[in-house]
Amino acid sequence: MDLFDYSLFISAIRMVSPILLAALGGALCARVGIFNVGLEGLILAGAFSAIVGNHYSGSVFVAVLSGAAGAVLVSLLFGIVTIKFKANAIVAGIAVNFLVLGLTTFLLRALFDVKGAYYDKNMEGLPKWDIPLIEHIPVIGKLISGHSPLVYIAFLAAILLYVYLYRTVAGFRLLAVGKNLSASKSMGLKVTAIQYGAVLMSGVLCGLAGAQLSLGQVTMFTEGMTAGRGFIALVAMMLGQSHPIGILGSSMLFGLMDALSVRLQGFSVPTQFTAMLPYLITIIAMFFLKDKGSDSQLSGQQSTR
């Protein structure tokens, strides 16, 4: 078995998409001054409601929609608590993670009467799209073609978000809210509406990430199946400086490492060190990055009171 081969990169691209989607969602929140630690919970909510939608409707399309809807509901709760009731976003995010982990496991028992994991062989997973012309290009073809639609949506979302943030007026307004809340308010921007919009959109993106997790590879839901991906996404967001293209790069890097650490299990390299790499790289990068997150509202010591 080779360390680097085709299948490594193909699986890397597959693993990128949930991280990328969630990191973009986190970046949207960060850009309006809300540090969203609840990504993990949002993805898990998406993964679970996607399976629920799949179970009751039998349609993959409805499943993806309900995955997004489930995560949006949770993000709405998060938004109300942080924006309207001025809760500390970090505390609320941690609470969301606890809440969703408990709720999904609980509902797994209540709805499907199973513990641990729910799997039904009749459930249909996400289709694999073969892109007409590209699939025949020798090397790149196999790499780019044959993924689930959500993988393409993830990459598209990064580009769209870039265009939105840096090429449209609405995007500039959103950035303004994150730069200086009171100044934007005094300019007459609908600050609250923009913040809610960002939080709900991050719910949609995390919901899609969850749907890719539960419907993408094997169609099943397991308790806590996000396994820290939400936090990896958070780290990808930090390393990418909340910039869509930066996040695209950092997510690809982390996806590759994820795939690599699976691969390395076959070699006698301690997997702990490969798993550690994303965090170490991000810490080291923070020494060099200009914007250490101090540019936005996140700055200043977060007092608990």
Partner 1 sequence: MKLQRILQQSFKSLAQPLLAVLIGILTGALAISFIGESVWDTYKVMWNGAFGSFYFVTATLARATPIIFIGVGLALAFRAGVFNLGAEGQMVLGAVAAALAALFIPGPGIVKILSALAAGILAGGLWALLAAWMEARFKIQLLISTLLLNYVAVLFAGYLVAQPFQDKTGSAALAQTSMLGQAAWLPKLFPGMSLHFGFIMAIICAIILYFILRFTSAGYEVRMLGHNPFFAEYGGINKTKVLFVSMFFSGGIAGLAGTAEVLGSQYRYVEGALTVPGYAWTGLMAALLANSNPLGTAVAAILLAALQTGAMGMERNTEVPLEIASVIQGVLILFISAKFTFNWWNLRKKAGAANGSV
Chain residues binding partner 1 by CB under 8 A are 35, 77, 81, 84-88, 90-92, 94-103, 105-106, 109-110, 115, 228, 231, 234-235, 238, 270, 272-273, 275-276, 279-280, 282-283, 286-287, 292-294, 298-299, 301-305
Q: How far apart are CA 116 and CA 222, in angstroms?
A: 6
Spell out a b/e string for 258-278, using b for 16 or more CB atoms within 10 Å of the CB, else e: bbbbebbeeeeeeeeebbebb
Instruction: State which residue, 43 or 65, has the beta carbon closest to partner 1.
Output: 43
3, 187 in Cβ contact below 8 A?
no
Distances from the Cα of 285 to the Cα of 11, 104, 157, 220, 305, angstroms: 26, 35, 25, 36, 31
81/150 with CB nearer partner 1 = 81
CB of 4 to partner 1, least distance (A): 23
User: Using CA of residue 259, residue 158, residue 26, residue 18, what is the dihedral sign?
Assistant: negative
118 has which bridge partners? 221
The CB-of-59 to partner 1 minimum distance in angstroms stands at 26
Closest to partner 1 by CB, 65 vs 83, is 83
**Shortest Å, Cβ 261 to partner 1:** 10
Residue closer to partner 1 (CB basis): 181 or 275: 275
Give the shortest CB-78-to-partner 1 separation in angstroms: 8
Tokens of 229: 């991906």
Nearer Cβ to partner 1, position 124 or 291? 291
Cβ atoms < 10 Å from Cβ of 109: 13
Specify the residue, 62 or 298, whose C-beta has the smaller distance to partner 1. 298
Nearest CA to 40 out of 221, 255, 197, 224 is that of: 224
Residue 173, both tokens: 């307004």
CB of 67 to partner 1, least distance (A): 20
Nearer to partner 1 by Cβ, of 115 and 190: the residue is 115
- Phi and psi for 280 in degrees, rounded to 5? -65, -45
Q: In the complex, what is the shortest distance from the CB of residue 250 to partner 1, in angstroms, rounded to a whole number? A: 13
CA 134 to chain centroid, in Å, comes to 27
Least Å distance, CB 249 to partner 1, is 18
Coil vs helix vs strand at 242:
coil
Find, among 134, 133, 126, 119, the residue nearest to 150 by Cα. 126
Q: Which is nearer to partner 1, 122 or 301 (CB)?
A: 301
Q: In angstroms, rounded to a whole number, what is the distance separating the alpha carbons of residues 92 and 86?
A: 10
Q: How far is the CB of 110 from partner 1 (least distance, A)?
A: 5
- In this structure, are residues 63 and 53 in contact, taking their beta carbons and an 8 Å threshold? yes
